[in-house]
Structure 1
Amino acid sequence: MSENPLEAILKATESLSRCVQTHLSRLFPAPQDHHHHRSSPPLLFVSSKPSALPQSTDATSPMKEKSAIPLTKEELGRATWTLLHTIAAQFPDHPTRQQKRDVKELMVILSRLYPCKECADHFKEILKANPVQAGSQAEFSQWLCHVHNVVNRSLGKLTFPCNRVNARWGKLDCKDRACDLQGTTGFNNQP
């Protein structure tokens, strides 16, 4: 019998978290000067299972053992918005039809699979009232900022000035356009 779909999602999330953590540790390596101790970056995914993350004996490793506690709804929300705004910042100025479909489907999938039912149901309502706009990077970033502000207002939080979205969520700083999506430099989907 196949495994529980939620277990598959958990495993995929843990794998993604380990990958991101590895890349972050390359961006922010431990200092060579041992007189200045820098704390490791926080784990991106915290599991209630102690064995979910690999343990390291290396004192400079970002995968140092942390107390395993479940993620809060607020932490999950912040992480999700970070991911979505980063995707929007990297979205091409001239997306292909497939990229437009993909980003719209991503929002629908989130509204169905998001691990907070109340949040997912609210997001479904927001999507009905505010269909995804993904004709360009600017349009998608502005749409996402607007939608994020709809959620913030519903939670009694401050809203973000959408005219500053690119200053806050600009393109990732990747050498030789290594962060660009497939298909952003031409019609033949070549990077």
Structure 2
Amino acid sequence: MSENPLQVLVQTFEKVSYSIQHHLSSFIDLHLRPASSGKAPIFSISSSSHKSHSLKDDSFVQPIDVLLKAKSATPVTKEELGKATWTFLHTLAAQYPDNPTRQQKKDVKELMGILSRMYPCKECADHFKEVLRANPVQAGSQAEFSQWLCHVHNVVNRSLGKPIFPCERVDARWGKLECEKNACEVVGSTSFDEK
């Protein structure tokens, strides 16, 4: 009997959730705390038949713990948020497929649009909208998307008076994540979309 599609979706969501939480916790120098501490994982959805196949362990960072253990009990700064966002986006670009489906291309473009509308810093979001208008998303392959993102990051850096990153080194800086059994690859349904 084939695996329940909803179960596969939930497992994929948990893997992505773990990856994001792991990298954000590393970014702010916190350690992952096992879920056995009495609190449920933030995004864990489980059933009696659910098995996590590719996670090394079931450790998750709890959002309240991140807030309580941060350097100070103040909200993040625009700079901290920006750095975390760029880290996420470049890591996503590094995992992006070499030959993405139509849906994956659409999703990446939609994600950039959503960021330009919902980013917590309105000034930053408005600036990103302008940057996207002048530099439409290029997501035909992993290399194209990574280079486009590096270029866009440099556009933002120039406007902030920050150093420019050499885009030929983007893969060395934000390369593929080390994951078991390709668990970090961007996964998308290919059943309804064409390449």
**Shorter-chain TM-score range:** 0.5 to 0.7
1:108 and 1:124 in contact (8 A); partners too: yes
Which residue is 1:156 aligned to?
161
Which residue is 1:42 aligned to?
30
Q: Paired residues, what number?
A: 145
Distance 1:74 1:182 in 2: 30
2:24 and 2:84 in contact (8 A); partners too: no
Unaligned runs of 5+ in 2: 1-16, 33-62
**1:175 and 2:180 matched:** yes
Q: 1:182 offset after TM fit, Å? A: 1.5
- Residues 56-82 of structure 1, C-alpha deviation per residue, up to 9 Å, x if partnerless? xxxxxx897444111000000000000
Distance 1:109 1:164 in 2: 27
Which residue type is aligned with residue 20 of structure 1? Q
Q: Tell me, what secondary structure is at the counterpart of 1:181?
A: coil
RMSD: 3.2
Poorly superposed stretches of 4+, deviation over 2 Å: 16-19, 21-25, 40-44, 62-67
1:94 and 1:135 in contact (8 A); partners too: yes
Q: 1:42 offset after TM fit, Å? A: 3.4
Superposed, 1:6-25 pairs within 5 Å as: 20-21=21-22
Q: Which has the higher contact order (CA 8 A, sep 6+)?
A: 2
Distance 2:20 2:101 in 1: 27
1:92 and 1:137 in contact (8 A); partners too: yes
TM-score (norm 2): 0.65
Q: Among 75, 85, 90, which residue is 1:70 paired with?
A: 75
Q: Tell me, what secondary structure is at the counterpart of 1:101?
A: helix
TM-score (norm 1): 0.67
